[in-house]
Amino acid sequence: MNISVNMPPCVAFHNGHFTAEDLITKVTRSGDLAGVFYDTDAWRALPPETAIYQVEMLKSPQGEGELYAGTTHLNPGRIGDEFYMTRGHFHQRREQGEVYFGLRGTGLLLLQDEQGKARFEQVSPGSVHIIPGATAHRLINTGTEVLSALAVWPTIAGHDYAALAQGFALRVVLQGGKIHGKEVQNG
Ligand SMILES: O=P(O)(O)OC[C@H]1O[C@](O)(CO)[C@@H](O)[C@@H]1O
Ligand SMILES: [Fe+2]
């Protein structure tokens, strides 16, 4: 079952020195996520333009001490029995952490250290998540509505996707009507 819902309206950022022109919006579609979902046949069967998530972030100045603030809106849906999720990444600058704030919907934040040890945190409106340095993070929508979370992270953090080319140690699927975190043998 794949629900493709329209993306929610922009989350308005009201800040002393940011205006709507300072908002960067990026949509990630199923076609952008080759190799991310484990059921390749189901992924191929989905029209590649299917919107999976949208990130709206502020155009912060870059540099030490500067922060990005961005809201990820992750659609509900599954590819095969695997819930829609973000690509997930480590930060290039491993020592840089990130904070997530649950805004809407229900889901999971998958966190994984460099030794491959993975754990979940429940995401819901009002939840706050401290992502320490050297911890990969992926948002997963296990609900039936859009999952939205605000993130704040250093502009110098960068994204390292290559370190997760083998994927995360856990996948989240719906089986027998229940949500399962499944260990993945070969990443
Ligand atoms: O880059 P990914 O793993 O697709 O995650 C989506 C977005 O979530 C964030 O971690 C927070 O919004 C951004 O850094 C990232 O671009
Ligand atoms: Fe991040």
Q: What is the CATH number of the domain that holds 173?
A: 2.60.120.10
pLDDT digits 0-9 by tens, 147-166: 999 999 999 999 999 999 99
80 lies in some domain: yes
Expressed in angstroms, the distance from the first to the final Cα of the chain is 25
Judge contact between 153 and 67, C-beta under 8 A: yes
Identify the bridge partners of residue 168 per DSSP, sorted by sequence position: none
168 lies in some domain: yes
CB atoms within 10 A of CB 19: 10
92 lies in some domain: yes
pLDDT digits 0-9 by tens, 60-80: 999 999 999 999 999 999 999
Q: What is the structure's pLDDT at 16? A: 64
Distance of CA 85 to the CA centre of its chain: 6
The yes-or-no verdict on residue 130 having pLDDT over 50 is: yes
| Atom number of ligand 1 nearest to Cα 86 | 4
Residues with CB under 5 A from ligand 2 (ion): 98
Q: Which ligand is nearest to the CA of 11?
A: 1
Q: How far apart are CA 3 and CA 15, in angstroms?
A: 34
How many domains are contained in the chain? 1
Q: Which ligand is nearest to the CA of 100?
A: 1
38 lies in some domain: yes
| Atom number of ligand 1 nearest to Cα 161 | 3
The domain containing residue 175 runs over which residues?
A: 24-183
